[in-house]
Structure 1
Amino acid sequence: MRRSASLQTLLFYGLSGPIIALNVGLLSILFNYFKHPITIVSVAAILAFLLNYPVKFFERARITRTQAVIIVLLVTLTLFVILGVTLVPIVIDQTIQLLNKIPDWLTASQTNLEQLEAFAQKRRLPLDLRVLSNQINASIQNIVQQLASGAVGVAGTLLSGLLNIVLVVVLAFYMLLYGDRVWLGLINLLPSHIGVPLTVSLQLNFQRFFLSQLLLGLFMVVTLTPIFIVMKAPFALLFAIVIGISELIPFIGATLGIGLVTILVMLQNGWLGVQVAIAAMIMQQIKDNLLAPKLLGDFIGLNPIWIFISILIGFEIAGLLGTLVAVPIAGTIKGTFDAIKTNKGGNFVSPFTISHDSPEDRIN
């Protein structure tokens, strides 16, 4: 009996690795094949998750769900139009100016490195920065070329982008209205002891995660913009938005955003780049230690190592979209398995609407 049990355990752990690798490869192939519809559905689902909170607020005021959804979507579209008219042109203008000024900054940084190397040679210090300078210049020039080509591509596909936005909004509208019915139909295919905790974990990880990340990113943009303006940092609004958007990528996004902005500012002024990095890191610590625990809590419960691994796997499968949804998906899987192990199914809560029925009524 012991040999049989140990053999089963060995087979289980021995085959689980290849099976997981095979499934990851299949997911990557499927995503590449259905990339556009999967992206549209995923973005629409995230938007529906976020808008479900204000929809619930209006429902408490005894407004029908259809009316609440229409009101929330109209308000959201109005805000997007306002941002598109006021903020987006400024960001585009600063981006174009940044791309035009980077060659001059590269020349200035090359001069600064040569002066530093000459200073070291006078004092007989073994400092050779030529290789580092060439590598930095080549890397940044490559980034500029990619950004420029990307900007041309975006400009050339503007009509397609607007069509995608319309599809996302329309799909999010129907998800808010009928998403619970679709989800209930899918959940009915699973046993109740799996479907119920899966639903609860999905709502907890996706809704709360994306709302929290959005608020934390907004905090970084709102606080860093005036700080950068006071410090007279170039392109203050653009750099603050870059750091805020990078906040959407958990665990490593903010660090990457701050590092990129610091390098760009240091090309123009080394000391100013250090000041920008210090200010951004201070606000990041305030965000991580004061705001994030209150917004996020420990609802994901993942070890940082697993978070990093899930982000890498998500990027490998679906690129940027994969990095955004990797952590909540991993948290949903972990929460579901934990609930199954402890035999705590929880109450059924639709990811898109408010559920007033008992778990037995909704599942059965």
Structure 2
Amino acid sequence: MNRSPDLQRLLIIGLSGPIIALNLWLLSQIYRYFENLITVLLASALLALLLNYPVRLFERTGVPRTRAVIVVLFLTLTLLLFLGVTLLPSVIDQTGQVLQKIPAWLETSRQNLEALDNFAKQRNLPLDLKGFSGRINNQIEQQLPTLPSQALVLALGTLGGLLNVILILVLAFYMLVYGDRLWNGLINLLPARYGIPFSQSLWLNFHNFFISQLLLALFVTAVLIPIFLALRVPYALLFAIVIGVSELIPFIGAALGIALVTVLVLFQNVGLAFWVAVLATGVHQVRDNVLAPKMMGSFTGLNPIWIFVALLTGLQVAGFLGIVIAVPIAGTIKTTLDIVRGINQLDEERWEDEELSG
């Protein structure tokens, strides 16, 4: 007996859920087993994607591609060394100072909240700021003892990090020189009906989203550094970088970064925290409403709910790296499916026309 199309559709939808969940679980297990290798490969691919633009600029001036790649990588390495000598020590130093001062800030905030709580009780206001602050302080204080050990692990992992940087640069060099042939070979393994749309969609999404997101994060960081310095915000460099890095997380990253920095400044100066929140939010609004539409547009076409699902899935599978690349991957899947669906509809219409004409 033939099943109705609706029943077949329900069966497909019902089976697709467990299959997708199983595949996601399998991907997470594979990622955890090959985490370092996958991270190095993805970082190399993203770096090659970024450096391909200056390489093309050199090629337009008549420089051979291999020589252009060498020049660009040399300039990139020089920039990284300059940042490592000038910027990185300041960030590490400010991070250490912030971690050391958190207990004193918690004590100050507790005293301020106790005074505000007493003020509320004298006027019979239903507030329990003292209990609320005590619960938050206990949670933070429970995490503080683990910070020195985590810092030690980070320090011990510095050598491994340097080796990974070298591997990333070497792999990026080979990807820039031989990446087109490798990519074309992989795409040719797929049927042309799927391979060509997938290749175009992947390039479009990562080009529009990731590159634009990175440039916008650099814009926010560069604007906030002089603003925080002018306001005499403590640890201005560190806080500006925290907000800038949080911009890499789509939709919710900016709010999380601004909230975190505002709370840290609030421990020191309430009025200064207000201006930090207002000005950081203003810069973010310029980024969202002026620059982002011109650079990114609404290219993904994803429903906001699916975007959050993609972010949570990326976090579960690959942590912060998964969050950064979750949206372009989801956009790639959607765009590829839309293109393939359009091709199938054209084929069906052409087949129907041929039947009618025959």
Q: Cα distance 1:284–1:148, how it changes in 2: closer, same or farther (>3 A)? A: farther
Who is 2:272 aligned against? 272
Query: TM-score with structure 1 length normalisation?
Result: 0.91
Distance in 1 between the 2:145 and 2:299 partners? 41
* Partner deviation per Cα, 1:197-231 (whole Å, 9 max, x = no partner): 11111111113322111111111111111111222
Q: Cα distance 1:159–1:85, how it changes in 2: closer, same or farther (>3 A)? A: same
Letter in 1 for 2:140: I
The residue correspondences of 1:1-364 to structure 2 (distance < 5 A) are: 3-343=3-343
Structure 2: 5+ residue stretches without partners: 345-358
**Contact between 1:187 and 1:195, CA under 8 Å: does it hold in 2?**
yes
Distance in 1 between the 2:114 and 2:127 partners? 11
The structure whose RCO (Cα within 8 Å, separation 6+) is larger is 1
**Offset at residue 303 of structure 1 (A):** 1.7
Q: Secondary structure at the match of 2:343?
A: coil
Who is 1:352 aligned against? none
Who is 1:359 aligned against? none
* Partner deviation per Cα, 1:306-355 (whole Å, 9 max, x = no partner): 111100001111111111111110011111111112229xxxxxxxxxxx
Distance in 1 between the 2:292 and 2:275 partners? 24
Letter in 2 for 1:216: L
**Offset at residue 182 of structure 1 (A):** 1.3
Distance in 2 between the 1:159 and 1:330 partners? 34
Distance in 2 between the 1:126 and 1:9 partners? 55
Q: Secondary structure at the match of 2:36?
A: helix
* Partner deviation per Cα, 1:176-198 (whole Å, 9 max, x = no partner): 11111111111111111111111
Q: Secondary structure at the match of 1:301?
A: coil
Q: What's the Cα RMSD here?
A: 1.5
**Offset at residue 7 of structure 1 (A):** 2.2
**Contact between 1:310 and 1:326, CA under 8 Å: does it hold in 2?**
yes
Q: Cα distance 1:146–1:257, how it changes in 2: closer, same or farther (>3 A)? A: farther
**Contact between 1:50 and 1:210, CA under 8 Å: does it hold in 2?**
no
**Offset at residue 140 of structure 1 (A):** 2.8
Distance in 1 between the 2:45 and 2:146 partners? 30
Structure 1: 5+ residue stretches without partners: 345-364
Distance in 2 between the 1:131 and 1:176 partners? 57
**Contact between 1:99 and 1:148, CA under 8 Å: does it hold in 2?**
no
* Partner deviation per Cα, 1:60-98 (whole Å, 9 max, x = no partner): 111111011111101111111111111111111111111
Letter in 1 for 2:304: P
